[in-house]
Structure 1
Amino acid sequence: METRKKKLPIGIENFEKIQEEDFYYIDKTGLIAELLHNWGEVNLFTRPRRFGKTLNMSMLEHFFSIDGDKSIFNGLNISKETALCEEYMGKYPVVSISLKGIDAVNYEMAFRMGARVIRRVAAKVQYLLESDALSEHDKLEYQNLLDSNMDEATFCDSLRILSEMLEKHHNSKVILLIDEYDVPLAKAHAHGYYDQMISLIRSLLGEALKTNSSLKLAVLTGCLRISKESIFTGLNNLKVLTIADERFDEYFGFTDKEVKDLLEYYDVTDHYEDIKRWYDGYQFGNVEVYCPWDVLNHCDRIRCEPHVQPENYWITTSSNDAVRRFIQESANATTKREIERLVAGEVITKKIHQELTYAEAYQSIDNIWSLLFTTGYLTQRGKAEGRQMKLAIPNLEIRDIFETQIMELFKENVREDGETLSRFCDALQKGDAENVERIFTEYLKRTISIRDTAVRTDMKENYYHGVLIGILGVKDRWGISSNREMGDGYADILAEPDSGDMGIIIEVKYAHDGDLEGACREALKQIEYTKYEDDLEDDGVENILKYGIACYKKRCRVILANGRSAKRDGNKKEEAPDWD
């Protein structure tokens, strides 16, 4: 009888649930030992989204908590650290909050959401109202944390007050865990109340971390390392552990061995290469890691659908605003070329500032480079030299996000360039291959290219195919079909102008060796061989134009069958061969 496999913990961020309900768990409990061996009173881990920050915080909560179930750590790596477990496991009151749900369009609503977070965590320890160790004044202070009309002063003092009450009751210092501390700041910046929110969070953290004599240990997580001057002023006991640090580098994200073990457990090792190309490639410190969210989601799919192709699981979990803004701001030719090089799999060296505020993030193109690095859209390759880092797009999934945003920007530009592109369509309709080529070449020069030197020729053709479809979209009343079944094959593009008596067949080729003329001839041969025009003739369309368009990087060649090549030799036009 086949052994039943463990469930995959997709979206489950509660450590106790994963252990008790038989989910597959990749052991990251070594984080606890390293945290306690390399002591820092206040520790900030910055990692991109979807790399297991919340699950690790839940693990820490269950390890330290007086109310924790010690048995859930049986057999895990931390259980081998018997002295540490004896000294720390189950010995501390823990205050654990997450700020990632504070997402509001105005400050008043955001504050109410923050106050609700505090009330919930305070409500978990209502035994304090019965505590003999607390005075009546202490209990009144605690009761203020349960008040649905909590004011800002109480909110800012809340974590310090809660810590003091818990220390008095338990006669033990407190562990404080704050997950996604910077999410309210990101949302506030997006909605225009950043100054108010940073003042609030600065006061909350200052009271909790700087003037809190009841604190044993604090751990914070977030995407961005907000500059110390902005939010952690005077906090001298802060240890910041970013994606560039070698310490703790393997505890967020899955290592190559962990992914291989996972795929072997579920008998899907034949998908390893695809998963590596799509979801690996991040470098944290000295370790190369995969995005856990993607690996778990794809592993779950391929168990049910073995032939399913990798897809972008990250793109649906965020607005990808950083990439969109980066591409929009890339006005100069240098940045455009750098984006093209990144998408083509190359490495770009840039000066990275890991300490930013959200207000600064989009102030300059240099800061956006840093934001892309800290949020996981770019990763480092090799070792940094000071602040100079070699940056690359980590994998095919993130490349897909860049491509999607580049094509969105392209579509916006098409709408703005309606007049120019109408001339392109008019030239196409008139059989004016020379002007078709001239306008298309000019447009390719202005557009950010998303070719990739490493991909197959047919994938490169898809890019130019997409650009042409976008341009033809300016003619609202034209019929445009892509890869439509015609004759004995599939036409790349069929355009039917609104006059109703014309059909334009376009075959796109990528001239992988730079021979544009030869690629054009191949395109026209394919049109003839597959008899694309037969269906049009059957429908009574007599005026049929057949174009071969060949592209290589930002150059193109256009030939009209039975017409002229757009190739210029001085002032002479070169006759195209008769393909009939």
Structure 2
Amino acid sequence: MKKLPIGIQSISKILSENYVYVDKTTFIKELLDEGSPHYFISRPRRFGKSLFLNTLEEVFKGNKELFKECQIYNSNHDWQKYPILHLDFAQIHSTSPEGLEIGLQEALEDVAAAYGISITGASSQSQLKRLVIKLAEKNRVVVLVDEYDYPIINNLKSIEIAEKNRDLLKDFFGTIKSLDKYLKFTFITGVSKFSRVSLFSALNNLNDITMDPKYAGIMGYTEEDLLSNFTPHIASISKSQNREKTKILAELKEWYNGYHFSKSNTCVYNPFSTLNFMEKKEAEPYWYSTGTPSFLIHEVQKHPQSIVPLSGTTAKKSGLMDISNLEKIDLTALMFQTGYLTIDTYNPTTNRYHLTFPNKEVKESFLDSLIEHFTTITPTISSKCQQMLETYQLTSFFNEMSSMLASFPYQLFVKATEATYQPVLLGILKGMELEVEAEQATNIGRSDLIIQMEKTTYILELNAPSEQALTQIHDRKYFERYTQKGKEIALIGVTFSSESRTISSWKGELLSSDGHRVQSLDPNKSG
């Protein structure tokens, strides 16, 4: 069984040391054959951008034998060797425009030294020009740029620095455009596209393939990729956990699939989280945990009136790929470009995309961040709510929940449904350190929320009206799996009001541990 390349961005290491490689070289051949030599793509962090650039680098170095197990090996690619200028802006100091300028000069000098060239110049622009012209004496130059937007997006809390870095980048990439006759190929990646305010106004000959259906699967894993490359790992998980492979695949899909980057049907899994799932054999928010979106939460806090509804929103392509104002960034565009929203459907009549959360990992984790920043859950509040549940003071408990919900910006709950409120309530309950689970499956459905207290199991169904929700718990026998556990079972139907952002009504009853009705839980008499 091949090793899992977690965190490895060297294609040479992956291909030569028996790691799993999901072959993306067919996309490279297509890019080379297309005839447009200058490309840009935006993809979320840890989505394979750096590995793809490194793969391009090895192809342009002419290292054919490295790719003998890949599709490009048997193609008609000529395997010429080209000088390469590879810049990773995430590795260049950029907390100030002065530091960015010095960092660029040092990076260019390092490339020059690697090719035995010395360069001079008073600025990064002049050094870049001299370096490319000298490199082109051997052959036309390949320019590869990773995380071009890092100096901007990493400084959004200081607009002055972000704007100065943006202007420096605009001039730097404008120099690349002036060197077109010396260039063979350009490929630039980033998380976001700051159109009209960065390289896209200066280097306007870039072919932006971010939302091109033809390249929807260029990064990330498709369903076919998953089954073709990870079947031995899935079988290993199945054996060690005594679980059916179909259930493991379903869990993978629920947690990590769901990314659509175009109007095509191509859907991809988050590669970083998928690899970690294969390694650790359990579903966790691996991608989200590597870096909470502080810049995104900062924008939400700064402009709560612009927040995207949790039930989803729509936008045209130009709106999704256009961030033109650093003072007030369009949150829909930012959330799409950074991977927190993805395309759900496309309406060709209106030319609009409907957006949604891609999967369980992103939805639950992002909501947890919102809860952390918009609510105050103290140990005192947690203790009080736990006591309310233990003593069936449910009116008081749901009043406390309503107060929590009211602390969020009202825009979050525009056109909200049960599916909107369920993860929010789940996050609040987890924040109170309650033992809570969501969507526990039975043979005829999934219960919305389960709260385990010391003496009571709570089964909550979120529906409208609350009487209907309570009836659904009975009809689908959600409570049966919790009988004979030595605990009473509280069945609660809950109705939300999107207008008031409160729990507008609830209805409940208490069962004995063997599932027999003990009493009604009357909203007028329970706290």
Residue aligned with 2:260, SS: strand
Which residue number in structure 1 is paired with residue 274 of structure 2? 295
Residue aligned with 1:381, SS: strand
Residue by residue over 1:204-253, the C-alpha shift from the partner in whole angstroms, topping out at 9 and shown as x without a partner, is: 111122344311221111111221354333534221111x2113222211
Residues 386 and 434 in structure 2, CA contact (< 8 A), matched pair in contact too = no
Residue by residue over 1:34-54, the C-alpha shift from the partner in whole angstroms, topping out at 9 and shown as x without a partner, is: 112212132111111122111
Equivalent position to 2:104, from 97, 106, 114: 114
Equivalent position to 1:390, from 319, 329, 354: 354
Q: Distance in 2 between matches of 1:238 and 1:491?
A: 53
1:309–1:389: structure 2 CA closer, same or farther, 3 Å change rule? Answer: same
Residue by residue over 1:239-274, the C-alpha shift from the partner in whole angstroms, topping out at 9 and shown as x without a partner, is: 1111x2113222211111110112223352712221
Which residue number in structure 1 is paired with residue 3 of structure 2? 7
Equivalent position to 1:74, from 64, 68, 83: 68
Query: Does residue 173 in structure 1 map to residue 140 in structure 2?
Result: yes
Residue aligned with 1:282, SS: coil
Residue aligned with 1:199, SS: helix
Residue-pair matches, total: 476
TM-score (norm 2): 0.75
Residues 459 and 490 in structure 2, CA contact (< 8 A), matched pair in contact too = no
Residue by residue over 1:292-343, the C-alpha shift from the partner in whole angstroms, topping out at 9 and shown as x without a partner, is: 1111121122xxxxxx4311111122232355346546856x968x31x35x
Equivalent position to 1:201, from 169, 185, 188: 169
Which residue number in structure 2 is paired with residue 374 of structure 1? 337
1:231–1:567: structure 2 CA closer, same or farther, 3 Å change rule? Answer: same
Q: Where do residues 247-262 of structure 1 align in structure 2 (5 Å cutoff)?
A: 247-262=214-229
Deviation, structure 1 residue 166: 1.3
Residues 96 and 165 in structure 2, CA contact (< 8 A), matched pair in contact too = no
Residue aligned with 1:213, SS: helix
Residue aligned with 1:185, SS: helix
Q: Distance in 2 between matches of 1:560 and 1:76?
A: 62
Equivalent position to 1:50, from 46, 51, 75: 46
Residue aligned with 2:92, SS: coil
Q: Where do residues 216-365 of structure 1 align in structure 2 (5 Å cutoff)?
A: 216-242=184-210, 244-268=211-235, 270=245, 271-285=248-262, 286=264, 287-301=266-280, 308-321=281-294, 323-325=296-298, 328=301, 331=304, 338-339=309-310, 341-342=311-312, 348-351=313-316, 353-357=319-323, 359-360=325-326, 363=328
Q: Distance in 2 between matches of 1:15 and 1:422?
A: 52
Residue aligned with 2:189, SS: strand
Q: Which amino acid aligns with 1:392?
A: T
1:434–1:214: structure 2 CA closer, same or farther, 3 Å change rule? Answer: closer
Which residue number in structure 2 is paired with residue 501 of structure 1? none
Residue by residue over 1:101-122, the C-alpha shift from the partner in whole angstroms, topping out at 9 and shown as x without a partner, is: 2355433334333333222222
Q: Which amino acid aligns with 1:72?
A: L
Residues 551 and 557 in structure 1, CA contact (< 8 A), matched pair in contact too = yes
Residues 60 and 142 in structure 2, CA contact (< 8 A), matched pair in contact too = yes
Equivalent position to 2:28, from 32, 35, 39: 32
Unaligned runs of 5+ in 2: 239-244, 437-449, 497-502, 511-517
Residues 437 and 558 in structure 1, CA contact (< 8 A), matched pair in contact too = no
Residue aligned with 1:356, SS: coil
Residue by residue over 1:392-430, the C-alpha shift from the partner in whole angstroms, topping out at 9 and shown as x without a partner, is: 111111112223113313533x57xx99x9999999999
Q: Which amino acid aligns with 1:377?
A: Y
Residue aligned with 2:181, SS: coil
Which residue number in structure 1 is paired with residue 133 of structure 2? 164
Residue by residue over 1:11-39, the C-alpha shift from the partner in whole angstroms, topping out at 9 and shown as x without a partner, is: 11111222222222111111221112212
TM-score (norm 1): 0.69
Q: Which has the larger radius of gyration?
A: 1
Equivalent position to 1:155, from 114, 124, 129: 124
1:115–1:530: structure 2 CA closer, same or farther, 3 Å change rule? Answer: same
Q: Which amino acid aligns with 1:124?
A: A
Residue aligned with 1:10, SS: coil
Which residue number in structure 1 is paired with residue 444 of structure 2? none
Residue by residue over 1:471-497, the C-alpha shift from the partner in whole angstroms, topping out at 9 and shown as x without a partner, is: xx7xxxxxx9869xxxxxx99457xxx
Residues 427 and 436 in structure 1, CA contact (< 8 A), matched pair in contact too = yes
Q: Distance in 1 between matches of 2:353 and 2:373?
A: 27
Deviation, structure 1 residue 182: 1.0
Q: Percent identity?
A: 24
Q: Which moved further from structure 2: 95-104 or 507-516?
A: 507-516
Q: Which moved further from structure 2: 54-63 or 153-162?
A: 153-162
Residues 311 and 397 in structure 1, CA contact (< 8 A), matched pair in contact too = yes
Residue aligned with 2:339, SS: coil
Q: Where do residues 520-531 of structure 1 align in structure 2 (5 Å cutoff)?
A: none
1:188–1:123: structure 2 CA closer, same or farther, 3 Å change rule? Answer: farther
